[in-house]
Amino acid sequence: MAKAKTKEKPVAKGELGWKEIEIGCFITEPGNSVEIRTGDWKSRRPVVDLNKCNKCTLCYFYCPEGCIAKNSDGYFEPDLFYCKGCGICATECPKDAIIMVEEAK
Amino acid sequence: MAKREGLEVSVAVADAAMLSDVDVVSAYPITPQTHIVEHLAELVANGELNAAYIPVESEHSAMSACVGASAVGARTFTATAAQGLELMHEVLYVASAMRYPMVMTVANRALSAPISIWGDHSDAMAVRDTGWIQIFVENGQEAVDNVICGFRIGEDKRVLLPVMVHLDGFALTHVIEPIELPEKKDVERFLPPFKYPLPLDPEKPVTMGALGSPFIYTEVKWAQEINLEKAKDVVLESWQEFGKVFGRTYSPIEQYRTDGAKVLLLTMGSYSETAMVAVDKMRGDGKEIGLLKLRLWRPFPYEELRKAVKDIDVLIVLDRAVSFGGPGGPVCSEIKAALYAEEKRPQVIGFVGGLGGRDISMAGFEEMINRGIEIARTGSEREFEIYGVRE
């Protein structure tokens, strides 16, 4: 999507100007989807209560976006840059440790 | 020096594609485009043209095959008309947005229903906003020349866009005209080999046609718009360069006997030839009438249009398509919009005519021009009038 030369200069993730777009909006660098903010259209975001979480990993496996990762303390947390707010993690959590909160709040 | 000979225009168009050394042709036959692609199939089968001819089951597939061919960097040609162009419709946007140069001749034909195999511009106007460079030609020689120019324009690194060459079905495709087919060596001099900058290549993988989320779509479309607008410079440059090599130069709006004229008629395509004869006759009668022939339809030549009409009182525009329920023919609407902000602008009078192969004779053009002048003076009950309809 980005022109190869933009690699030299840091560009805000997914905020390219129209002059920086590669011809035909082609993607010339494999794996650039990690740079794309796919979590910008969610209406609710997951919030994890670490006091309730028992690190069972179910949210990690159920997340269709693959945006839940283990942190340094071994707890599982969603990356809101990619999270689309589907709420599957909150529904599946057996300890009710995840609640969905309105984005506006 | 190239020889001038009598050729069917369709055959000459196919020869022009061969002279341009196309790599891939994919097309589905449809009247009145058939002779173009039949002749190309013959040239490939006879071994005269070293190209891949991809037979397909529909125009949707034809355009899709052309997109694929262009994506690997092949010089690609196709042709269609009317319903065929409509069946290609969604893929036309893909070809231009993904910046695939190719040349397509459209043998302009009326859209169904009722079924009509005859000419008008309803097919062309339905693809107005597809992002292709679009050129209308008025005779066989212009068709040949602009197929060759089309490759040079579209393949230019500053452009990289597909090009449609519109030629009227039957009125041009099926007539035999004296045509000068350029010499192969001259075409090679004018048209450098095609080198697509980012082709599909296993050595250097790219992703084409990925999802464009809301955060990027607007930027992509603006880049596309600016790119098409700027392509006009390359169109002009290529026509100039063509003139240097072949002696025939083209311009976005050609003026015919416009000196001192206060009333101009604007036409597109082959009807311009009859209109010229009508203008000659009216000039002979002492009337100061002239003709504008709109050749470059996309990108629209605003500057040239405003310059061409700055000293006149009345501009009569003939559309060969109807924008149903709208403000008149698409060409007339755009011309009105282009002139709206001008301090001094002519009255613009719109006619629709020449639909579905209905001929407009020399006397017909004269009648239309006279009616246009009358409307300019007394007004009309309608936004636009239709020429030649029976009560």
pLDDT tens digits, one per residue of B339-354: 999 999 999 999 999 9
Instruction: Look at chain A and count its residues.
Output: 105
Domains in chain B, please, with CATH? Answer: 4-246 (3.40.50.970), 253-386 (3.40.50.920)
Residue-wise pLDDT for B127-185, tens only, equals 999 999 999 999 999 999 999 999 999 999 999 999 999 999 999 999 999 999 999 99
Give yes or no for residue A15 having a pLDDT over 80: no
Give me the interface pTM, i.e. the ipTM.
Answer: 0.87
- Partner B, chain A 13-52, Cβ-Cβ below 8 Å: 14-19, 21-28, 30, 36-38, 40-41
Residue-wise pLDDT for B364-378, tens only, equals 999 999 999 999 999
Which candidate from B98, B205, B216 shows the least CB-CB separation from A24?
B98
Same domain? A98 vs A56:
yes
Report which DSSP code applies to A7.
G
Same domain? A48 vs A96:
yes
Report the relative pairing of strands A98-102 and B24-27 from DSSP bridges: unpaired
Same domain? A98 vs A57:
yes
Same domain? A58 vs A82:
yes
Identify the pLDDT of residue B368. 98
Contact A14 B216 (CB under 8 A): yes
Identify the pLDDT of residue B352. 98
Tell me the average pLDDT across A38-54.
Answer: 92
Q: Tell me if chain B has a CB within 8 Å of the CB of A4.
A: no
Same domain? A96 vs A50:
yes
How would you label B150-160 residue by residue, b for 16+ Cβ within 10 Å and e otherwise? Answer: bbbbbbbeebb
Residue-wise pLDDT for B194-246, tens only, equals 999 999 999 999 999 998 888 889 999 999 999 999 999 999 999 999 999 99
CA gap B389, B391 in Å, rounded: 7
Same domain? A51 vs A28:
no
Query: Is the N-terminal amide bond of B107 cis, ω within 30° of 0?
Result: no
Gap from A6 CA to chain B (nearest CA, Å): 15
Identify the pLDDT of residue A39. 85
Give yes or no for residue A21 having a pLDDT over 70: yes
Same domain? A28 vs A73:
no
CA gap B221, B254 in Å, rounded: 31
Give yes or no for residue B188 having a pLDDT over 80: yes
Stated as kind and residue range, the H or E segment containing B38 is helix B34-45
Same domain? A31 vs A79:
no
Same domain? A48 vs A28:
no
Identify the pLDDT of residue A11. 47
Contact B206 A1 (CB under 8 A): no
Same domain? A58 vs A21:
no
Give yes or no for residue B316 having a pLDDT over 80: yes
On average, the pLDDT of chain B sits at 97
Q: Among residues of chain A, what percentage have pLDDT more than 90?
A: 68
- Partner B, chain A 67-86, Cβ-Cβ below 8 Å: none
Question: For residue A94, what is the domain's CATH number?
Answer: 3.30.70.20
Question: Which of A22, A25, A35 is the best residue to mutate to test the B interface, defined by the most B CB atoms within 10 Å of its own CB?
Answer: A25
CA gap B70, B200 in Å, rounded: 9
The residue type of B236 is: L
Give yes or no for residue A5 having a pLDDT over 70: no
How many structural domains compose chain A? 2
CA gap B141, B13 in Å, rounded: 9
Same domain? A26 vs A49:
no
Tell me the average pLDDT across B266-287.
Answer: 97
Contact A25 B207 (CB under 8 A): no
Tell me the average pLDDT across B33-59.
Answer: 98
Identify the pLDDT of residue A16. 85
Residue range of the domain that includes A26: 4-35
- CB contacts of A26 in chain B (<8 Å) are 98, 198, 206-208, 210
Gap from A61 CA to chain B (nearest CA, Å): 25
Give yes or no for residue B385 having a pLDDT over 60: yes
Is residue A8 classed exposed, middle or buried when 0-12, 13-18 and 19+ CB atoms within 10 A define those classes?
Answer: exposed
Identify the pLDDT of residue A33. 78
Same domain? A64 vs A88:
yes
CA gap B122, B26 in Å, rounded: 23
Give yes or no for residue A1 having a pLDDT over 70: no
Identify the pLDDT of residue A8. 43
